[in-house]
Amino acid sequence: MTPAPEGEDEASEALPAAPRPPPPPPLTSAEEEVVLRAFADGTVAWDDTEGLWSLEVPAEAWLGACLLVQDRLLHPLASLFGEDRSSSSGSIRLHALFLGGRTSSGVHVRADLLAIGPVTRSLWERIPWVVPFERETAEMFGIEFLELPDRRPLLLHELHPRPPMTRGPASAPTGERAPYPFRPVEGGSVYEIPVGPVHAGIIEPGHFRFQVLGERILNLELRLGYTHKGTERLFEGRAPGPATLLAESVSGDMSVAGAVAFSHAIERALDIPISPGAEASRGLLLELERVAFLLGDVAGIALDTGYAAGAAQANVLRERAYEALGNLTGSRLARAVVSPGGLRRPLRTEALPGIGATVARTSEALTVLHERLLDNSAVEDRLLGTGVISRAMAEALNLVGPVARASGVDRDLRRDRPYGAYRDHPVRTTLGEKGDVAARLQVKVEEVREGCRLAGVFLEGLGAEPTVAPREPVPRLREAAHGLGWVESPRGEFLVWVALDAQGTLSRVHVRDPSFLNWPAIERAVQGNIVPDFPLCNKSLNLSYSGYDR
Amino acid sequence: MSPDGSTRPEKAAGSERNDDAFGSVVTVAFPLGPRPALRAPGRTPRHQPGQCDGVGACAGACPNGALRVEGSGPGATVTIDYGLCLFCGLCVDACASGALESVAFDELAVRRRSDLISIHRAGDAAPSPPVLRDEVAERIGRLFAGSLAIREVDAGSCNGCEVEVGALTWPRYDLERLGIRFVASPRHADALLVTGPVTRNMRLALLKTHRAMPGPSIVLAVGACGIAGGPFVRSPQVENGVDQVVPVEVYVPGCPPSPMALLYGLWLALGKVDQRLHDGEFPFPAGEHRSNSGP
């Protein structure tokens, strides 16, 4: 791979540089001083609605503040996004959330940029995984990130008359396509395999460019954005209750996680209490969703090794979990059940005894299935050493969820920032070592088993308390409010940040799907593997396109 | 074949204890035999004009503009678009008069978009089911003679519909036993099954995939998104439904439609079953409704 040349002309400037960061710029003592003074002055305040320290800095201290928080306080960057406040304060506000890792703490850094021609310095030299966040914020808010090596659009494939997340009437794309140069590959026998956006299976759309020598993958480059629906903009102006349905449709195969994360954000923002019964019900739904979801990954991995019988059996178990959700809620994906304040409707008590039996049976059957998988040398041969993501790589990309745990990174929001029913019932996490497909299968199997156990625990915790959310859970506000919700979804850390105006309607919602952090992992995992092992890498990572594109 | 029409896999000797954990017969008996209904209240809203007070609380509660009330009092006109409905039940929760109820009916697939829209005007006689226009059904039934090769295209869905479409291929539904299968290329397909609202960024890919499919062919628009944009309706980044881009033969409502609702839609596409929903009216309760009966 050749590093991009220093940008003399537009075409080469648009190309991404090699992912090897140059030596980091030293913090100037002035920048460092601003942040340290903020801590000393007490302008850094604990914000209970976010569970984070809140740090507001002048625009010129943005870079310094962010780097200090990550390098000195050791909280990794979890998200970066914009908020158009030109109507109230004449600014475009930049937000960076730093959380994750083994502490329950974190920091929210804010800075206001001028609304006209907003510009700041990119964080990429010290936080390499920030690049997609800054590319999105650049195209959606018109912010220029100086030194950002990759200026290509991320989610918008067409030109827009105005950055779509800025104030004013929603702007329709013009129909003219934005240029998108792929990284060129040269060499005698090197060839390229373009795949997608329409794929061969029943899966989401995206475009992959494989650069291959023989069967060996030299490089993979992704282009996503095909499922971009402008979801974050659609939240704006809605009441929190109905908007929960949009949160369920960010990654629709994890609708409970989306609804709970969004509801937590609203409940923290508005200080709405939740009954223990509602928390236990949510915990039960979250774990049943995890069991169904991860059994799909087990089935997919078995299928892609050619072990069709194992895949069919995993799918039998998966279908049972979806039927359990359907019997509990009337919707197999438990749609329109969780709502700010509790649940929109109670779980069907008649279905509860059956759920206990289902999770117990699933756990038992999974043990049998896993033994059969491991007992099969053909399966083993395909999984061991395939699609390796080392622990160092997982940390360098700030990966989350079972993918990170399979590489030995010990993080799980259920334990690190416990919420709801997990406060009283800690999760037992499983870590892998090698970070290959075999390790990811092992971790996912264990997480299904642990999900079954937790579902059983939460089932017992369902008491006689009311679980149903009040019809109008949103009290009348006198001033604007904001809140952060977090859930360890089946794919990992799912974050929702909300801002409400004084009328109680949503003024900005940002959703950080775990796949937004995890997608770059696939480009690393496949390097040096052969093309036929790509499906195994892909299934074991199971990344959300809709969650990334929104 | 067992008497209920389901296939019964043979057990290997000695593996009895192990296989009991998976259950020996899991495949539903579709199309003949009892329907495995969810043991939970339905989510399909149904309006009974006689009881309506015309207050319009239901329309105010609908998050998606799928239900409209024009006028007020007993003279109000109530319109339900099952194509845009997310089946969340908020309208029924909001109804004080009891005119709206939730029913367990999901055989909602239709051939005409207008058949998904129920309009109740004051003074209208109770709507009678119109005669099925079955020329199209017959023609498709003859052409494909009971088999269907489908290319699935996700045109920007949230991946919820993919969970349920994918479930059709699992042992519980075992689609291939019905002569229906998913193929990897549009060149091998009789039908496109399209989910998602059709994002601006998928419009061209959908058009090209449709063009690559040899005729004669049909298109199924699946889910509230595929029919009318779903929860993303009116976003400038989406096209508000598959029929805004390519012609659609069958619409399958739901958010997402369950595997049984999808099976019904596919059976309708093959002309093997009558359409149940006409001008937004469907036969319910089940006395008038024979489940999944064959032709």
Q: Domain ranges in chain B?
A: 135-274
E strand residue ranges, A158-276: 190-195, 207-213, 216-223
Mean predicted confidence (pLDDT) in A131-159: 94
Number of Cβ pairs closer than 8 Å across A and B?
196
Interface ipTM above 0.85: yes
Beta strands B218-222; B250-252: pairing state: parallel
Give the pLDDT confidence score for residue A474 in this predicted structure.
Answer: 59
- A 458-497: CB under 8 A from B: 471
Q: Which residue of B has its CA nearest to A230?
A: B237
Residues 6+ apart with CB under 8 A from A298: A314, A366, A369, A441, A444, A445, A448
Give the pLDDT confidence score for residue A468 in this predicted structure.
Answer: 66
Give the pLDDT confidence score for residue B129 in this predicted structure.
Answer: 47
Note whether B169 contacts A364, CB cutoff 8 Å.
Answer: no
- A 349-378: CB under 8 A from B: 350-351, 361, 364-365, 368
- The rounded percent of chain A whose pLDDT value lies above 70 is 89
Per-residue HEC secondary structure of A296-344 comes to HHHHHHHHHCCCHHHHHHHHHHHHHHHHHHHHHHCCCCCCCCEECCEEC
How do the residues of chain A divide into helix, strand and coil, expressed in percent and rounded to 5?
A: 45, 15, 40
Interface test with B, best of A157, A174, A198, A298 (most B CBs within 10 A): A198
CA-CA-CA-CA torsion sign (B250, B253, B255, B260) = negative
CB A14 within 8 A of CB A179: yes
Most confident range (mean pLDDT) of A26-35, A86-95, A124-133, A471-480 is A124-133
Neighbours of A25 (CB within 10 A): 14
Give the pLDDT confidence score for residue A21 in this predicted structure.
Answer: 38
Closest Cα in chain A, distance from residue B278 (Å): 25
Closest Cα in chain A, distance from residue B140 (Å): 24
Give yes or no for B161 touching A (CB within 8 A).
Answer: yes
- A220 pLDDT higher than 90: yes
Give the helix/strand (H/E) hosting A120.
strand A119-121
Interface test with B, best of A331, A339, A506 (most B CBs within 10 A): A331
CB A400 within 8 A of CB A518: yes
- B179 pLDDT higher than 50: yes
Mean predicted confidence (pLDDT) in A413-432: 93
Nearest by Cα to A283 from A472, A188, A425: A425
How many helical (H) and strand (E) elements, i.e. helices and strands, does chain B have?
A: 8, 10
Note whether B205 contacts A205, CB cutoff 8 Å.
Answer: yes
Interface test with A, best of B15, B19, B22 (most A CBs within 10 A): B22
Give yes or no for A312 touching B (CB within 8 A).
Answer: yes
Residues 6+ apart with CB under 8 A from B271: B134, B137, B138, B140, B141
Which of A197-211, B9-23, B52-66, B237-251 has the weakest average pLDDT? B9-23
CA-CA-CA-CA torsion sign (B7, B11, B16, B21) = negative
Give the phi and the psi of residue A434 in degrees, each rounded to 5: -80, -20
Q: Which residue of B has its CA nearest to A547?
A: B158
Q: Where are the alpha helices (DSSP H) in A42-86?
A: 62-71
Measured in residues, chain B has a length of: 295
Give the pLDDT confidence score for residue B293 in this predicted structure.
Answer: 36
Interface test with A, best of B10, B84, B85, B158 (most A CBs within 10 A): B158
Nearest by Cα to B286 from B114, B91, B35, B111: B35
pLDDT band at A466 (very low <50, low <70, confident <90, very high): low
Q: What count of Cα atoms within 13 Å lies in the side-chain half-sphere of residue B30?
A: 28
DSSP assigned state of B246: S
Q: How far apart are CA B21 and CA A364, in angstroms?
A: 7
- A534 pLDDT higher than 70: yes
Give the pLDDT confidence score for residue A9 in this predicted structure.
Answer: 36
Higher pLDDT, residue B136 or B222: B222
- Token pair 């997982």 is found at A394
Chain A residues within an 8 Å CB radius of B88: 245, 335-336, 344
Q: How far apart are CA B257 and CA B193, in angstroms?
A: 13
Mean predicted confidence (pLDDT) in A505-517: 96
Nearest by Cα to A198 from B217, B229, B255, B196: B196
Q: Which residue in B26, B196, B256 is closest to A333 by CB distance?
A: B256
Q: Which residue in B40, B163, B201 is closest to A330 by CB distance?
A: B40
The correct answer on CATH 3.40.50.12280 for the domain covering B135-274 is yes
- A464 pLDDT higher than 70: no
Nearest by Cα to B254 from B244, B265, B246: B265
DSSP assigned state of B242: G
Nearest by Cα to B272 from B109, B116, B118: B109
Mean predicted confidence (pLDDT) in A107-127: 90
CB B76 within 8 A of CB B70: yes
**Tokens (6 digits) for B241:** 């439904």
Closest Cα in chain A, distance from residue B158 (Å): 5
Instruction: Spell out the domains of chain A, with CATH numbers in brackets.
Output: 44-178 (3.30.460.80), 231-545 (1.10.645.10)
Mean pLDDT, chain B, as a whole number? Answer: 83
Note whether B237 contacts A173, CB cutoff 8 Å.
Answer: yes
Give the pLDDT confidence score for residue A26 in this predicted structure.
Answer: 46
Roughly what angle, to the nearest 10 degrees, separates helices A255-270 and A276-304?
150
- A 386-425: CB under 8 A from B: none
Give the phi and the psi of residue A496 in degrees, each rounded to 5: -130, 125
Give yes or no for A331 touching B (CB within 8 A).
Answer: yes
Give the pLDDT confidence score for residue A396 in this predicted structure.
Answer: 92
The residues facing A77 across adjacent strands are: A98
Cross-sheet strand order for the sheet of A91-99 = A45-47, A52-57, A106-114, A91-99, A77-85
The residues facing A484 across adjacent strands are: A497
Which of A438-452, A471-485, B131-145 has the weakest average pLDDT? B131-145
**Tokens (6 digits) for A234:** 């659609």
Mean predicted confidence (pLDDT) in B168-178: 92
Give the pLDDT confidence score for residue A186 in this predicted structure.
Answer: 82
Mean predicted confidence (pLDDT) in A452-460: 93
Give the helix/strand (H/E) hosting B117.
strand B117-120
**Tokens (6 digits) for A141:** 């808010």
Give the helix/strand (H/E) hosting A13.
helix A10-14
Q: How far apart are CA A278 and CA A469, in angstroms?
A: 9
Burial grade of B3 (CB within 10 A; 0-12, 13-18, 19 or more): exposed
- A 57-76: CB under 8 A from B: none
Closest Cα in chain B, distance from residue A93 (Å): 24
Give the phi and the psi of residue A536 in degrees, each rounded to 5: -65, -45
Mean predicted confidence (pLDDT) in A100-126: 87
Q: Which residue of A has its CA nearest to B15?
A: A368
Q: How far apart are CA B209 and CA B217, in angstroms?
A: 12
Q: How far apart are CA A293 and CA A318, in angstroms?
A: 7
Closest Cα in chain B, distance from residue A301 (Å): 15
CB A403 within 8 A of CB A389: yes
pLDDT band at B285 (very low <50, low <70, confident <90, very high): low
Burial grade of B205 (CB within 10 A; 0-12, 13-18, 19 or more): buried
pLDDT band at A292 (very low <50, low <70, confident <90, very high): very high
Chain A residues within an 8 Å CB radius of B162: 202-204, 253
Q: For Cα atoms A233, A234, A237, give the angle at the middle one, nearest 5 degrees.
A: 95
Note whether A322 contacts B163, CB cutoff 8 Å.
Answer: yes
Q: Which residue in B163, B172, B185 is closest to A253 by CB distance?
A: B163
Give yes or no for A161 touching B (CB within 8 A).
Answer: no
Note whether A173 contacts B236, CB cutoff 8 Å.
Answer: yes
- B12 pLDDT higher than 60: no
Closest Cα in chain B, distance from residue A47 (Å): 31
User: How does DSSP assign A255-287, residue by residue?
Assistant: HHHHHHHHHHHHHHHHT----HHHHHHHHHHHH
Q: Which residue in B22, B93, B186 is closest to A365 by CB distance?
A: B22
Closest Cα in chain B, distance from residue A172 (Å): 5
**Tokens (6 digits) for A231:** 């979801």
- Output the CA–CA distances (angstroms, integers) from residue B205 to A151, A156, A196, in the order listed: 24, 15, 9
Closest Cα in chain B, distance from residue A43 (Å): 39
pLDDT band at A31 (very low <50, low <70, confident <90, very high): low
Which of A79-83, A302-306, B25-29 has the weakest average pLDDT? B25-29
Note whether A361 contacts B21, CB cutoff 8 Å.
Answer: yes
Cross-sheet strand order for the sheet of A190-195 = A190-195, A207-213, A216-223
Note whether B232 contacts A234, CB cutoff 8 Å.
Answer: yes
Which of A118-122, B127-131, B228-232 has the weakest average pLDDT? B127-131
b/e burial code for range B273-284 (CB count within 10 A of at least 16 → b): bbbbbbbbbbeb
Give yes or no for B132 touching A (CB within 8 A).
Answer: no
Note whether A252 contacts B160, CB cutoff 8 Å.
Answer: yes
Q: How far apart are CA B68 and CA B60, in angstroms?
A: 8
- B 233-252: CB under 8 A from A: 235-238
CA-CA-CA-CA torsion sign (A160, A163, A165, A168) = negative
CA-CA-CA-CA torsion sign (A257, A258, A263, A269) = positive
Dmax (CA) of chain B: 70
Note whether A204 contacts B237, CB cutoff 8 Å.
Answer: no
Give the end-to-end CA distance of chain A in Å, rounded to a whole number. 31
Give the pLDDT confidence score for residue A473 in this predicted structure.
Answer: 55
Higher pLDDT, residue A39 or A159: A159
Give the pLDDT confidence score for residue A374 in this predicted structure.
Answer: 84
Q: Which residue in B167, B197, B205 is closest to A197 by CB distance?
A: B205
Nearest by Cα to B84 from B294, B271, B280: B280
Give yes or no for B55 touching A (CB within 8 A).
Answer: no
User: How does DSSP assign A463-528, residue by residue?
Assistant: -SS--BPPSS--PPPSS-EEEEEEEEETTEEEEEEEEE-TTS-EEEEEEE-HHHHHTHHHHHHTTT
Give the pLDDT confidence score for residue B25 in this predicted structure.
Answer: 66
Q: Which residue in B43, B167, B232 is closest to A331 by CB distance?
A: B43
- Output the CA–CA distances (angstroms, integers) from residue A219 to A215, B92, B136, B171, in the order listed: 12, 53, 49, 37
Give the pLDDT confidence score for residue A75 in this predicted structure.
Answer: 86
Which of A8-17, A318-327, B37-46 has the weakest average pLDDT? A8-17
Closest Cα in chain B, distance from residue A525 (Å): 24
- Token pair 């479930």 is found at B167
Q: How far apart are CA A279 and CA A289, in angstroms?
A: 15
The residues facing A508 across adjacent strands are: A499
Nearest by Cα to A265 from A152, A419, A81, A472: A419
Q: What count of Cα atoms within 13 Å lies in the side-chain half-sphere of residue A409?
A: 25
Give the end-to-end CA distance of chain B in Å, rounded to a whole number. 21
Interface test with B, best of A139, A174, A249 (most B CBs within 10 A): A249
Give yes or no for B103 touching A (CB within 8 A).
Answer: no
